[in-house]
Amino acid sequence: MTPGAAGRAAGTAARAGQLRLGPAGWLRWTWRQLTSMRTALVLLFLLALASIPGSILPQEGIDPAAVSQYYAQHPALAPFLARLSAFDVFGAPWFAAIYLLLFASLAGCVLPRAARFARSARQPPPRAPRHLDRLPQAARMATAAPPADAIEAARRVLARRRFRLRSADGWVSAEKGYLHEAGNLLFHLALLGLLASVALGGLFGYKGDRLLVAGQTYANTPTSMDVFRPGRLVTATDLQPFSVTLRRFSAGYVSSGPQRGEPAWFSASVSYTASYGGRPRGYDLRVNHPLNVDGVQVFLIGHGYAPVFKVTDGTGRVVFDQPVPFIPVEQSGLTSAGVVKVPDARPRQLGFAGVFLPTAVDVDGRLASAFPAPLLPRVSLVAYAGNLGLNGGQPQSVYSLSTSRMRRLPLRPVPLAPGQSIKLPDGLGRLTFVGYRQWASLAITYDPGQLPALASALTALAGLVLSFLVRRRRVFVRAAGDGSGQVTAVDVGGLTRSDAAGGFEAEFADLAGEIMRAIGGSTPAGPIAGEVAAVAAAKGE
């Protein structure tokens, strides 16, 4: 048979063998491919690539308003991206598939390696080779001591250096540096733990936002949050039963210099109860100093002003008397915009839209705020009357006013100081600017995977340090007499399995010199004779 025919026959046989694998064989082949390090690296790259849209595009679970704004700005592109789950990347099925495949790949790759390492760690070092002079590091010395005494002296030296030993008649084998492989495995196991911690937080954690006006209380329930983003397995009964009351909010600002108006400090004085009906406790909530209650962290993420309005309708009834949060639209002076909806007013529903100015100034006939602190508070509103559309079945934002079925009242916007009022035309009533309060925006976060993720990250760092600093090395010693019984030749050899940074040569020279001194040997011979002699001389031998 010609070589070409033999090759074709071998290829045909190999293909026939593949076809005869059967379901179990194909499953084993698929598992081997999935658990290879090459596949794990590809999946890790895909996971990083898949996270890019979640960092660039607004996400439903984080900022639904930004998603709505993206729809308005890109009416043709947004529906296509929504079909690809681009606005909910981290909850998308394809992202979960990559995540789970990576987890399975790492588990199948690392766990068997850990089991093999545990078995190999219990095994003694290998036998000493017969020809130690062929090893990368080798030295020879002569002594008058018998071979057994020379081997015993070498054993004591290696034991002091914390080598694991194995010996027999005429030789001793030593090994050290198992922590190198342990560090490598520790890093990969920690990476596996990090993935599990992220999954734990995504399944059993939750996040929420709540805006609290001074004097208001928040109870930790889904209906009390302005935005609630639960984990996949979180229900309403899983939330910790605590409450938070905002007693007051205060802030300080730079009053002069090029950074005038920049915030200097924020502080929210709150009281909280760890359980419903529990004893209230005080806390000073500040930026980067969250409140921790039963594993839940409450962060201070924003603040603003809530003007207090009192509205009397056309019948003389007070139908509105409460603070209304205005949202900052300009940070330097903290100019804030907001709306007031009065659905109970008669004979017509009333609505107001305008701005709150903490320190009002006139700039070329236009109102602006010169400083974020309330030095000269003013509010300017535009009034509407008609149907607010609250009963149409469509949800409305509390920060926007639908004027499609309302008419603007013929009132010139006038900046109102606290205590001032405007009278509405056509006997529709009166609005009074009573004063203002401050509000604080809170982020409520519960992540049961946070501490495991931190522990996994620290473990991964420790594993990297071990794998970089620890070197796996082996040292062998053989001793044999020359036949006369007067001289014993001692051979020392060494090699390292991981010495990318170098340095084993100096360690071996030091070790060989110490063995020579222990056995009372004469000047060594071999490739590193000079180094061993120098070490011995430096130590006074």
pLDDT tens digits, 126-155: 888 988 988 988 988 888 888 888 999 999
pLDDT tens string 106-132: 888 888 888 787 777 777 888 889 889
Mapped onto helix, strand or coil, the DSSP state of residue 213 is strand
CA 138 to chain centre: 49
CATH code, residues 127-177+471-538: 3.30.310.80
* Bigger pLDDT: 451 vs 114: 451
Give the strand order in the sheet containing 406-408.
327-330, 335-342, 349-357, 378-386, 406-408
Instruction: Give the up-direction half-sphere exposure of residue 261: CA atoms within 13 A in the CB hemisphere.
Output: 13
81 with 51: CB under 8 angstroms? no
- The reply to whether omega before 347 is within 30° of 0 (cis) is yes
Q: In this structure, are residues 180 and 473 in contact, taking their beta carbons and an 8 Å threshold? A: no
Does 539 score more than 50 pLDDT?
no
Share of the chain above pLDDT 90, in %: 36
pLDDT in tens, 362-405: 888 788 999 999 999 999 999 999 999 888 667 777 888 888 88
- Answer for the pair 191, 461: CB distance below 8 angstroms, yes or no: no
Q: What is the model's pLDDT at position 447?
A: 92
Residues 266, 286 contacting (CB under 8 angstroms):
yes
Range with lowest mean pLDDT among 60-69, 328-337, 469-478, 515-524: 60-69
Point out the least confidently predicted range of 63-72, 244-253, 359-368, 446-455: 63-72
Q: How many CB atoms lie within 10 A of CB 382?
A: 17
- In sequence order, the 6+-apart residues with CB closer than 8 A to the CB of 251 are 263, 264, 265, 266, 267, 303, 372, 373, 438
Per-residue pLDDT, averaged over 61-89, amounts to 80
| Distance linking the first and last C-alpha atoms of the chain | 72
In this model, does residue 532 exceed pLDDT 50?
Answer: no
Higher-pLDDT residue of 18, 494? 494
pLDDT (0 to 100) of residue 74:
85
Taking all residues of the chain, what is their mean pLDDT, rounded to a whole number?
85
Structure tokens at 278: 């529990």
Residue 7: which pLDDT band, with cuts at 50, 70 and 90?
Answer: low
- When pLDDT is averaged across residues 30-37 and rounded to a whole number, the result is 80
pTM for this prediction: 0.69
Burial letters 72-94, b for 16+ CB under 10 A, else e: eeeeeebeebeeebbbbbbbbee
Please enumerate in sequence order all residues whose Cβ is within 8 A of that of 531, keeping only pairs 6 or more positions apart, or say none.
505, 506, 509
State the average pLDDT over residues 285-298: 92
- pLDDT beyond 70 at 318: yes
What are the angstrom distances between the C-alpha of 205 and each of 13, 95, 195, 303?
55, 18, 15, 25
In this predicted structure, what is the pLDDT of residue 330? Answer: 86
* Model pLDDT, residue 62: 65
pLDDT at 72: 78
Q: Is a pLDDT exceeding 70 seen at residue 202?
A: yes
Q: Which amino acid is at 143?
A: T
Q: How far is CA 505 from the centre of its chain?
A: 42
pLDDT band at 499 (very low <50, low <70, confident <90, very high): low
Ranges 39-43, 250-254, 271-275, 309-313: which has the least confidence:
39-43
Q: What pLDDT score was predicted for residue 374?
A: 94
pLDDT at 316 (0 to 100): 92
**Residue-level pLDDT at 99:** 83
Confidence bin at 9 (pLDDT 50/70/90): low
**161, pLDDT greater than 60:** yes
Helix 22-34 and helix 93-121, axial crossing angle in degrees, nearest 10: 90
Mean local confidence (pLDDT), 483-505? 78
CA-nearest of 345, 307, 255, 300 to 444 is 300
pLDDT at 17 over 70: no
Q: What is the DSSP string of 392-450?
A: SSS---TT----TTEEE-S----PBPTT-EEEEGGGTEEEEEEEEEEEEEEEEEE-TTH
Half-sphere exposure of 167 (CA within 13 A, CB side): 22
pLDDT confidence bin for 522, thresholds 50/70/90:
low
Domain boundaries, the chain: 25-119, 127-177+471-538, 206-446
User: Of 146-155, 244-253, 280-289, 389-398, which gets the smallest average pLDDT?
Assistant: 389-398
Contact 422, 413 (CB under 8 A): no
- Decide which of 533 and 358 is more confident: 358
Total residues belonging to the chain = 541
Please compute the mean of the pLDDT values over residues 520-527 and round it to a whole number: 56
Please, what's the largest Cα pairwise distance for the chain?
130
Highest mean pLDDT among 45-49, 111-115, 194-198, 432-436: 432-436
Measured distance CA(27)–CA(308) in Å, rounded: 69
Do residues 192 and 457 make contact, with C-beta atoms less than 8 angstroms apart? no
Q: What is the pLDDT of residues 340-353, one digit of tens each?
A: 999 999 999 999 99
Model confidence band, residue 32 (pLDDT cutoffs 50, 70, 90): confident
Q: Return the pLDDT at 270.
A: 95
